[in-house]
A and B are shown apart, each in its own frame.
Chain A
Amino acid sequence: MAVAKAKSAGLEERLAACPVPAGGRWISAARKAAVARLQAMGLPDRRDEYWRFTRPDALNSASPAPAAVFENSEKPVFDDIDRLKLVFTDGRFDAAASDDPVLAGVEITRLEEAAKSDIHWARDLYGVLEEAGQTPVARPFAALNTACATDGILIRVSGRVNRPISLVYNHKSDASDVNLHHIIQLEEGAEMTLLENGPGAARFSKVLEVDIAKGASFHHIRAQGRDHERLAITHLFVRLAEESRFKSFTLTANGRLTRNEAVITFTGDNAVAHVAGAALGDGDFHHDDTVFVTHDAETCESRQVFKKVLRNGAVGVFQGKILVKPGAQKTDGYQMSQALMLDDDSQFLAKPELEIYADDVICSHGSTTGAIDEEAFFYLRSRGVPAKTAEDLLVLAFLATALEEIEDAAIAEDMRSRLEGWLERRR
């Protein structure tokens, strides 16, 4: 009882700090429902099983600790990729810095605009996938985001989009506390690629709800980096209909606290979903990948590949689950989480889980923690490769199976060069 009381007191303060915005009928209903959900579940505390490895305190507090804006001369990610760029600065859409949001086969609306009308197509998704993703595990910050997100992008895709849509999150103010909420709906047979990059804010919460209809295909690549002091909590909710495809890759470098939750549900047969991540942490770095894949259809393939490179006391967390529901026969589920420790000071905490209620399935999972392979290291050096270069080669080799999930060669190359840059700067 005492615990519940303390929880709700913290929640009142948290909600008071990010008031639920006013809006039209459809969004007001969704926001109100989200507040009710949040009040029922409360904010997480350290006793919550789902928050055992990552302390939620910095996310619970009414306002974030200031995070210095990190300036460097490195060219931003995706700069050389032909894309439609939509920019948010400290959580507000920045029209001047953005491209004209016009692209064949796509309808793009700002959440702030759509929220003014009484009815909008996004009603069927906004907070809907989030709500479905609240069972069996509560995700309070996602509900909070649905309740108080002020901006975001609503994208409806009807055809094959030939240019990626790129969401850029700038961080300009030390104290910004941001909730962004995006909706993407891919109609039957549609295809698109979404790019995301940038630190976003001092404390950045983002929810992305994606509905992939029959035969549609969604490719997602994001880079979270640059800022050292930022906090981020992100949620990706994906619903896959039959024969749809989804691939996601996230590169994270730096950041005091990042928790990326991915909640993926197969509702139609013969669909494929791959989620991958590569995280590089040096020093004050805590990175948490929390993934929940639900197979509720037949003959679907899911694949999770998460890799972390840690040094100087960096902490990596992986919580991954594959749930195969009764009747989800011929499921092919795979999960791999691995950490490469570059010294003895770092830490990797992993909780891989399988829960299977169908008999004709193939599911495998594994989790490893290791150091640089001494034999390989010596072999490279014996051929004249300097120690640091040899180490970098082995780090990139370790990350290779995660990077392979990027389909576009130019984007993959961009990611690889970011990794190389990060490694080089740490020599």
Chain B
Amino acid sequence: MLEIKDLHVKLDEEDKQILKGVNLTVPTGKVHAIMGPNGSGKSTLSYVLAGREGYEVTQGSATLDGVDLLDLDPEERAAEGLFLAFQYPVEIPGVSNMTFLRTAVNAQRKARGEEPLSATDFLKLVRAKAKALKIDADMLKRPVNVGFSGGEKKRNEILQMAILAPKMCILDETDSGLDVDAMKLVAEGVNALRAPDRSFLVITHYQRLLDHIEPDVVHIMADGRIVKTGGPELALEVEHNGYADILEEFA
């Protein structure tokens, strides 16, 4: 269970408050969605949870199954089972996808006191997951995300998620830049991972992703806070009417 309580975050460098008291709980096994206008703080929330530098938490807490995330290094959070599919996946020239994946998998296993995967077991795992996402072997030999199309980058995020099998998956606009077929693939990838011991926080602007990945709960974020929480119908409301009505209620 991910529990965020009264989370206040400002930028390190300037006196700019971005998150102004976020309260959010994603119970184990559930899929929650966050929608909200551009600049409302959705990506910031996901970055702060993953441990990116540049932000200062001034108040509040965030825990995953009782473990204080904010106290941990990013790699420790990952080993605890947190995964962020980036809105803008990063290109890393000179590091092949395979090396990257293998290093990540085995580092997490080591952190959890497990044996590293053998080369063959690892290859088998990657091949199976890549096939399901229609990622060809050639792409895996290439440097991480370098020269990948927007859609390929997003699929690569889901591939990493499938291989690392985290317990808390945060997806930041994984649907943006995807064509209809790729969106289906990604949604299938996510749905295949749905499990009683795994939770999802899906950040999106569009109902169409939620058509495929049906959320249990939908939150609306505005100006650094969760301003409304409801069922899947809330996403439909946003789709039809935009945010104006919802924001007005809280103005």
Residues of chain A touching chain B, judged by Cβ–Cβ distance below 8 Å, are: 373-376, 378-387, 389-390, 393-394, 396-401
Chain B: number of interface residues, binned into ranges: 20 to 34
Query: Which among A382, A385, A393 is the interface contact of B84 at CB below 8 angstroms?
Result: A382
A393 to B101, CA, bound (A): 12
The answer to whether A389 touches B103, judged by C-beta atoms less than 8 angstroms apart, is: yes
Contact of A383 (CB < 8 Å), options: B53, B91, B143, B164: B164
Cross-chain contact B164 with A400 (CB below 8 angstroms): no
Q: Which of B70-78, B124-132, B212-220, B229-237 contacts A (4 or more CB under 8 A)?
A: B70-78
Q: How far is the CB of B137 from chain A (nearest CB, A)?
A: 20
Query: What are the interface flags for B96-127 relative to A under an 8 Å C-beta threshold, 1 for contact and 0 otherwise?
Result: 00011001110110010000000000000000
Contact indicator B95/A383 (Cβ below 8 Å): no
Q: Is the CB of B94 within 8 A of A397?
A: yes
In the complex the two chains form, what is the Cα distance from A399 to B94 in whole Å?
8
Inside 8 A of A399's CB, which chain B residues have their CB? 94
Known contacts A378-B52, A378-B74, A389-B107: does B100 contact A383 (CB below 8 Å)? Answer: yes
* B100 engages A382 (CB within 8 Å): no
Q: Are B73 and A381 in contact (CB under 8 A)?
A: yes
Q: List 15 A-B contacts (CB under 8 A).
A: A376-B91, A376-B95, A378-B52, A378-B90, A379-B86, A379-B144, A380-B95, A380-B100, A382-B51, A382-B52, A382-B77, A383-B160, A385-B104, A394-B94, A396-B94
* Contact B78–A381 (Cβ < 8 Å): yes
A46 to chain B, nearest CB (A): 37
Residues of B within 8 A of A379 (CB): 86, 89-90, 92, 144
How many Å lie between the Cα of A381 and that of B79 in the bound state? 10
Which 5 pairs, one residue from A and one from B, show the smallest C-beta to C-beta distance?
A: A397-B94, A384-B78, A384-B108, A383-B104, A400-B94
* Cα–Cα distance between A380 and B108 once the two chains are bound (Å): 12
Majority-rule SS of A interface residues: helix
Closest partner residue, chain A, to B160 (CB atom):
A383
Q: Which residues does chain B contribute within 8 Å of A373, judged by CB atoms?
A: 92
Q: Is the CB of A381 within 8 A of B74?
A: yes
Q: Does B9 contact A (CB under 8 A)?
A: no
Report B3-48 residues with CB < 8 Å from chain A CB.
none
Known A381-B78, A384-B111: A397·B93 in contact at CB below 8 Å: yes
Chain A residue nearest to B163 in the complex (CB): A383
B103 touching A397, Cβ below 8 Å = no
**B50 touches A (CB below 8 Å):** yes
Q: Which residue of A375, A385, A386, A401 contacts B90 across the interface (Cβ within 8 Å)?
A: A375
Instruction: Give the one of B83, B93, B94, B108 with max A CB within 10 A.
Output: B94
Tell me the complex Cα distance, A383–B51, Å.
Answer: 11
A401 contacts across to B, CB distance below 8 A: 94
Contacts of B93 in A (CB 8 A): 397, 400
In the assembled complex, the CB of A168 is this many whole angstroms from the nearest CB of chain B, namely 31
**Identity of the chain A residue whose Cβ is nearest the Cβ of B54 in the assembled complex:** A374
**Residue numbers in A under 8 Å from B95 (CB-CB):** 376, 380, 393-394, 396-397
Note all chain A residues with C-beta closer than 8 A to B91. Answer: 376
**Distance of A390 Cα from B84 Cα, bound (Å):** 17
Give the residues from 154 to 190 in chain B that come closer than 8 angstroms, CB to CB, to chain A.
Answer: 160, 164
A382, B94: Cβ atoms under 8 Å? Answer: no
- How far is A387 from B52 in the complex, measured between Cα atoms in Å? 13
> Smallest Cβ distance from B11 to chain A, in angstroms?
15
What distance in Å separates the Cβ of A373 from its nearest Cβ neighbour in chain B? 8
Nearest Cβ on chain B to A151's Cβ, whole angstroms = 40
Q: Which residues of B contact A380 (CB under 8 A)?
A: 92, 95, 100, 103-104
Task: Select which of B51, B86, B99, B105 is within 8 A of A393 by beta carbon.
Answer: B99
Contact (Cβ within 8 A) A386 B107: yes
Partner of B75, one of A374, A387, A400: A387
Taking a contact as CB atoms closer than 8 A, the residue among B50, B51, B75 that contacts A385 in the complex is B75
Distance (whole angstroms) from the CB of A380 to the closest CB of chain B: 7
Known: A375-B90, A386-B75, A397-B95. A381 touches B164 (CB 8 A): no
Q: Which of B50, B73, B86, B143 is within 8 Å of A387, CB to CB?
A: B73
**In the assembled complex, how far is the CB of residue B21 from the closest CB belonging to chain A, in whole angstroms?**
25
Cβ–Cβ < 8 Å partners of A383 in chain B: 78, 83, 100, 104, 160, 164
Q: Which of B74, B92, B105 meets A376, CB within 8 Å?
A: B92
In contact, A384 and B94 (Cβ under 8 angstroms): no
Give the nearest-CB partner of B109 in chain A.
Answer: A384
Knowing A378-B53, A383-B104, A384-B104 are in contact, say whether A397-B92 is a contact too (CB < 8 A).
Answer: yes
Write the chain A residue with the least CB distance to B86.
Answer: A379
